[in-house]
Amino acid sequence: MRTAVALLLTGLIAVLASAEGRAADPSRMALVIGNAKYPDNEFVLTDAANDTQDIAEELKRDGFVVDRQSDLTGDGMRQALDRFYARIAQGSTALFFFDGFGIQSNRQTYLLPVDAQVWTEPDVSRDGFALEAILGEMNSRGAGIKIAIIDASRRNPFERRFRRYSAGLAPVITPNNSIVIYSTALGSVVSTSKNDRGLFVTELLREIRTPNVSVEQALTNTKNGVVRATNQEQVPWLTSSLTSEFSFAALSTRPPDAKPVDQTQQKQEPQKQEPPKQGTQKQEPPKPVCEAPRPDSPPSADDLAKDPVIADLTRKIAANSNDANARYKRGQVYAIKHAYPQAMADFDAVIRLNPRDAEALNNRCWTRAATGDLQVALADCNQALQLDPGLTDALDSRGLVNLKLGKTAEAIKDYSDAIQRNPRSSSSLFGRGVAARKSGGDGSVDIALAKSMDPNIAKEFAGYGVTECVP
C-alpha cells in the first residue's frame, strides 16, 4: 500500500512540475547569486535583487536544480560555491549566474561579496572570487557544459580607492565546452541604474524562454537585443567554446502567457531607410562639437556623517588618533566624494606620521590639483615619484597638475608614461586626450576610449575644473 501511495505521489509531482515547466533534472545545476546590499555603496542594487529572482524562477521552469543566494559575504560565497561544486555530476550542465559588483585586476575578473574590503589592488584577489577559477573548478568536477552569465559590469565604489585600475571586466580564459557572457563589453561599465530590473536580464529572459533555441543562439540574441535597445551604447561580451548542443527551454516549458514564436521572423534586421532625395530635405545646422558636463555638487556635512564607511573609519580614528591606515582610507573616501578640505586634513595627518609615504603624498597631490593649489601639488607629486619612481598613480596625478598649469607637453608625457604602465587607465587616457586638444592636436581617440571604459570620466574631470572643450 505504501509503495502504491508513493508511486501515486511521485506521478502527481511529475504532473504538477510539467504544468509549470520541465521537471527538475539533477544533471542541470545552477548557482544564482545576487549581491545587492553593499555597505560601501550609496544605494541598494534593486535591479540585481529582482533580476536574480527572475533568473532563478526561469531556470527552475527549464528543469535546473537551482540554489539561489542573496547578499553573500565572502564566507557565504565560498560555502555556496562549495555546495555547487559538490552537486556537479559527470557530464552535467553547470550554470553560474552572478549579479552584483565585479572588478578586474591583473587581467582577471573578480566577483565581489558584500563584505569585500577593497582599498588596494592586492585586496581584490584576497576578497574577490576569480571567474576563471570558478569555471576551472566546474570543469574539474566533471561538468560537460559550463555556462557563466555575469551581470557585474557596474561602476563600483571600490575602483576609485586605488587609481591604478581598469574599469569593467577582463576577458576570461575558459575550459572546453564553455560559454560566458558579460552584460557589456570588456573594460566597459553600464550606467548606474536605480531601476527595478536591468535591461540585460530582461533581454536574456526573453531569449532563454524561446523553445528549441540553442544556448549559444539564445545568448547571441540577448547580446543583439541589448545592442539594439541601447542604440549600440551597451554591447555585451560573449565567448564560446561549446561543442555540445544545449537548449534552455523545450516546447512544453514556454510560460502560458508567452506568445508563440515564428522562427522565420524571430530576428529580422530592421529595414534600411531610403536616403532622402536631393533637394527634398533641408539640412540641419551642425550640432555643437563639445558640451562640458556639470560636475557633481560637494556633499553636505550631513551626507558625510551618514556615510557608513566614513563613520566606521572615524570611530577607529577616535580610538587611536595615530591610526595612519584609517586616516589614509578616510582621506580617500573624502576625496572621491569631493570633500576636499576633509581629505586634505587626513592626508596631512598621514604625512606627519610618515613623511616618506609616497601613496599619501600622491593622494594629497591629487586633492590639491582638484582644488587648484597647483604649485604645492606639483611638489607633492615630485616628492612621491622621488620616493617611488614606479608609482603610476603619481604620474597620472602630476599629469593633471601640468594640464591645469597649461603645461600640455609635460602633461602629455606624464600621461603617456602612466598609460605605458597601465594601458587601460581611463583617467590617463582622458587627460592625455584633453592635453593633446589644448596643444592644438586631436586627442579624440584617447577621449573616446576613456569614455567607453568610464562613461562618467568627463564629469569626473569637470569636478577638477578640466573639460575636453577647447575655446
Q: Take residue 373 and report the three cell numbers written for it.
A: 593649489
The β-bridge partners of 301 are none
Instruction: Tell me: pLDDT of 99 over 90.
Output: yes
pLDDT of residue 266: 41
Q: Are strands 108-111 and 102-105 parallel, antiparallel or unpaired?
A: antiparallel
Q: What is the pLDDT of residues 150-175, one digit of tens each?
A: 998 777 777 666 655 556 788 888 89
Q: State the DSSP code for 23.
A: P
Q: Across residues 140-159, what is the average pLDDT?
A: 87
Distance from the Cα of residue 8 to its chain's centroid: 49
Q: Take residue 28 and report the three cell numbers written for it.
A: 542541470
Contacts for 435 with CB less than 8 Å, ≥ 6 apart: 399, 402, 403, 408, 411, 412, 415, 443
Cα angle, residue 30 at apex, residues 48 and 205 outer, rounded to 5°: 50
Task: For residue 226, give the amino acid letter.
Answer: V
Task: For residue 123, give the amino acid letter.
Answer: D
Rounded to an integer, what distance in angstroms lies between the CA atom of residue 357 and that of residue 383? 10
Q: What is the pLDDT of residues 222-233, one digit of tens each?
A: 999 888 888 888
The rounded percent of the chain whose pLDDT value lies above 70 is 81
Q: What is the pLDDT of residues 271-299, one digit of tens each?
A: 444 554 454 454 554 444 566 677 667 78
Q: Which domains does the chain have, with CATH numbers?
A: 20-253 (3.40.50.1460), 301-463 (1.25.40.10)
Rounded to an integer, what distance in angstroms lies between the CA atom of residue 101 and that of residue 1? 54
Neighbours of 3 (CB within 10 A): 7
Rounded to an integer, what distance in angstroms lies between the CA atom of residue 231 and that of residue 243? 32
| Dihedral angle sign, alpha carbons of residues 42, 47, 50, 56 | negative
Contacts for 56 with CB less than 8 Å, ≥ 6 apart: 30, 32, 66, 68
Q: Are strands 108-111 and 129-130 parallel, antiparallel or unpaired?
A: antiparallel
Q: Across residues 108-123, what is the average pLDDT?
A: 88
| Dihedral angle sign, alpha carbons of residues 418, 419, 422, 424 | positive
Instruction: Tell me: pLDDT of 48 over 90.
Output: no
Q: Are strands 129-130 and 145-151 parallel, antiparallel or unpaired?
A: unpaired
The four Cα atoms 238, 132, 203, 217 give a dihedral, to 10 degrees, of 50
* Strand blocks (E) in 273-402: none
User: Phi and psi for 29 in degrees, rounded to 5?
Assistant: -115, 140
Neighbours of 8 (CB within 10 A): 10
Would residue 107 be called left, alpha or beta, if left means φ above 0 and alpha means ψ between -120 and 50 degrees? left
Q: Find the helix packing angle between 340-353 and 358-371, rounded to 10°.
A: 150
Q: What is the pLDDT of residues 397-450, one digit of tens each?
A: 999 999 999 999 999 999 999 988 877 688 899 999 999 999 999 899 999 888
Task: For residue 359, give the amino acid letter.
Answer: E
Helix (H/G/I), strand (E/B), else coil: 340 = helix
Q: For residues 439 and 408, is the Cβ–Cβ distance under 8 A?
A: yes
pLDDT of residue 7: 39
How many CA atoms within 13 Å lie on the side-chain side of 204? 24
Instruction: Tell me: pLDDT of 250 over 90.
Output: no
Rounded to an integer, what distance in angstroms lies between the CA atom of residue 120 and that of residue 393? 12
pLDDT band per the 50, 70, 90 thresholds, residue 9: very low
CA distances (Å), 114 to each of 33, 100, 196, 247, in order?
11, 9, 19, 33
Rounded to an integer, what distance in angstroms lies between the CA atom of residue 182 and that of residue 18? 31
Contacts for 37 with CB less than 8 Å, ≥ 6 apart: 44, 45, 71, 114
Q: For residues 101 and 48, is the Cβ–Cβ distance under 8 A?
A: no
